[in-house]
Structure 1
């Protein structure tokens, strides 16, 4: 079909117009994201629609829910009679399993009845959002998760008039607790509005956390490399490089003197090097995953090789740092680069098919939404990521804090791990987009489709001895997902499962109460995670000594400790990037 003159076809949009339209979308999505904590309402609506349509087309499921509603209604009526007659709560047994209602005050009427009714409502909604035939599995998980979040928000424990603990405190203090709580709220709101620095209490980097002596021996635009001073006359022949995640400050592994993993390792005669990542700003938006591999891990290894020539290097990665280290190790295996003496992955994943509830926030709609937000900012703000992680444990991280700070008027005591958690970081736009799309959405690393230097890498090429650590209560990297590295790496694999969660399970120093772990070799790729767990009895205590023994067993001897680093010092630890 011919067009008169130079008039373009009706469906053709000039490039500049398309870019202008995209800019409008980005600005619109960024505005919405500022109100939703970075979550995509379109993705959430899609999940709810999928659930609602399939539920509407499932008469058997509807009948089941009607029966459950009648049964729960009968139990609610029964509790209306039994709860007033059982001040000790015998008629409200379901409350015992929920820690929100464990205080003795909840056994009084009418609060025991309110708690009972709430738990029955939770039970019905759980049934309603599970077992609906035809719904996409991911949408089913999302609707169940969102229903739980909505109900958690409406729990009677969250409101002063329906929380007997708050009412008793208000009566005892004649309302002073609510006055303090209001002041706490005003303070928090002002800090948020003014984008104030995070409150880390009395914990200051370089003063009482991140204080293990050392020097920065290398710096580029992305990392500072810290070498810690040995405390023993001899050290293991092979030094250890630790790669922390870029979504956290490195000093989670060098907290206070008593629970610093770095100090513990140094005292075991291991020469430790640590990467400290730059906290990126708008000017760093183009930094990519390839940059993090090259400028981060490869240049760190090159630097250590200059300081300790002709020695292999142990390498350990924590969380996303472990994922990045796995990519680097696979690239090194592809190139027949044998500089790694061993590989340790701490709560790190290489296969993201079962990466836990955090994947509910990582679909095409959500990633596209975040990409538009990051295009406006140049990076992802720390609070935009923190919101998703807090929702995974909303009762512990949101509502219990709300009750304590604003209703009881108490400020919880700060510890070093909490102070570190408040000291959040940002993510550059390009790198974070690649990470979400290539690893989370497309799972390219596990499928052997991830490229480094323009060529494919495969985790299955890794033959370096492997030590993998999972934590039992990990909401970020579930231990069965961490376990999957043993199905890929072809070397000698040792797995350790420790108590605790993603952070506290790793920071589990000797002497820490109520800690245990299981450890053992993984004999074959086909072994199931639960089978391995059942075959290894728990061992009381910290897992750190077991790892130190494993590193010693995979070392080739000792050498004299150098009092001064072989490389010139660029400044004392903790360096400068950690303050960004």
Structure 2
């Protein structure tokens, strides 16, 4: 039965008053927060090497080392590595350090028009290769473990195929391998980015890269927000009002927004490869993707591989990550599906412990 009009109106007034109260309380909390308080990527680290805008860091240890092989985190060019170190209680980096892992990281910096000519060849065969050699010199090891995230996982995969002599283990998270594996996936909502990217006219990609020299970070942010329109519409009003009075929850939200707003431009030449040769041409799994004049042969990967993907990933459909298993030469292959989303894999309180525990146990068993 429908509520009497006066009762419904009174209910509305009550809710409105509560929301106004929340807003005022939230405004007071927000007024006391400065930009420097919203710290992301704050885990202490030391700059070891700089090459152009690319920097190699080593994190300061926080526990007795239980895995000797150094771990190099390779993030992609589409976002910033700080999602893996968002805040103290939601940081893959801090969790690995606390478990006794020697953690290193490549920061690509913020490419601009001056980097328009950089290709994936440069990132894999120059920057990553030089970083690996530097880590080996600093630590006395002849190999490293690569921990790739998203596009960075793709880079790490290519490096492991081209330079297997320098890789001890390969750990991948939310990494696209078969860019067309989602075509027959009944959960089409998980592959909206793939569908849209495959629909682009190749000449339009060329026009954007030729005109701008980059794929603008703001453009990619817009595309990602359009993939979850209701969440994008409500997070600054409905959701924010609910948490504005709680400083801890508000700081969580602000750190995430700071990461989202810090999306760098993607170098044009590498972006052209990413969109045309991979998203559209799917050359890697077809055995036709070249870097530095060499075919990237997945069968050449004969090192232990741990492949972690998110079951609710709307950016990289699980099928695109799972495809790796049947295409590598290694018999030591393990998959771990986690009930999470693309970003939630690293910042969700539910997945944090499981993600780190799985990695560390797997690495310990292979650290002979």
State TM-score, norm by structure 2: 0.83
- Preserved contact between residue 221 and residue 278 of structure 1 (Cα < 8 Å): no
1:353 to 165, 180, 183: 180
Q: Give yes or no for the alignment of 1:482 onto 2:321.
A: yes
Match of residue 102 from structure 2: 271
More strand by share: 2
Match of residue 169 from structure 2: 342
Match of residue 499 from structure 1: 339
Mapped to 1, the partners of 2:85 and 2:49 lie a distance apart of 19
Measured after TM superposition, the shift of residue 371 of structure 1 is 2.8
SS of residue matched to 1:216: strand
Match of residue 369 from structure 1: 204
Within a 5 Å distance, the mapping from 1:415-434 to structure 2 comes to 415-434=254-273
Match of residue 387 from structure 1: 222
Measured after TM superposition, the shift of residue 403 of structure 1 is 5.3
Within a 5 Å distance, the mapping from 1:193-272 to structure 2 comes to 202=34, 204=36, 208-272=39-103
- Preserved contact between residue 172 and residue 306 of structure 2 (Cα < 8 Å): yes
- CA offset digits 1:525-556 (Å, max 9, x no partner): xxxxxxxxxxxxxxxx6231121111111112
Mapped to 2, the partners of 1:301 and 1:419 lie a distance apart of 30
Q: Give yes or no for the alignment of 1:446 onto 2:273.
A: no
Unaligned runs of 5+ in 1: 1-85, 89-107, 110-163, 185-200, 517-540, 557-580
Q: Which of the pair has the greater relative contact order for Cα pairs under 8 Å at 6+ separation?
A: 2
SS of residue matched to 1:368: helix
With over 3 angstroms needed to count, the CA separation of the structure-2 counterparts of 1:369 and 1:268, relative to structure 1, is same
Mapped to 1, the partners of 2:262 and 2:13 lie a distance apart of 32
Match of residue 324 from structure 1: 155
Match of residue 456 from structure 1: 295
State TM-score, norm by structure 1: 0.54
Measured after TM superposition, the shift of residue 470 of structure 1 is 0.8
With over 3 angstroms needed to count, the CA separation of the structure-2 counterparts of 1:354 and 1:169, relative to structure 1, is farther
- Preserved contact between residue 346 and residue 506 of structure 1 (Cα < 8 Å): no
Unaligned runs of 5+ in 2: 28-32, 183-190
With over 3 angstroms needed to count, the CA separation of the structure-2 counterparts of 1:434 and 1:222, relative to structure 1, is farther
When the two chains are superposed, the root-mean-square deviation of aligned CA atoms in Å is 3.2
Count of matched residue positions in the alignment of Structure 1 and Structure 2: 342
Mapped to 2, the partners of 1:407 and 1:432 lie a distance apart of 38
Task: From the CA coordinates, give the structure whose radius of gyration is larger.
Answer: 1
Q: Return 255-264 or 321-330, whichever deviates more.
A: 255-264
Mapped to 1, the partners of 2:66 and 2:48 lie a distance apart of 19
With over 3 angstroms needed to count, the CA separation of the structure-2 counterparts of 1:419 and 1:220, relative to structure 1, is same
Mapped to 2, the partners of 1:421 and 1:172 lie a distance apart of 30
Q: Give yes or no for the alignment of 1:168 onto 2:12.
A: yes
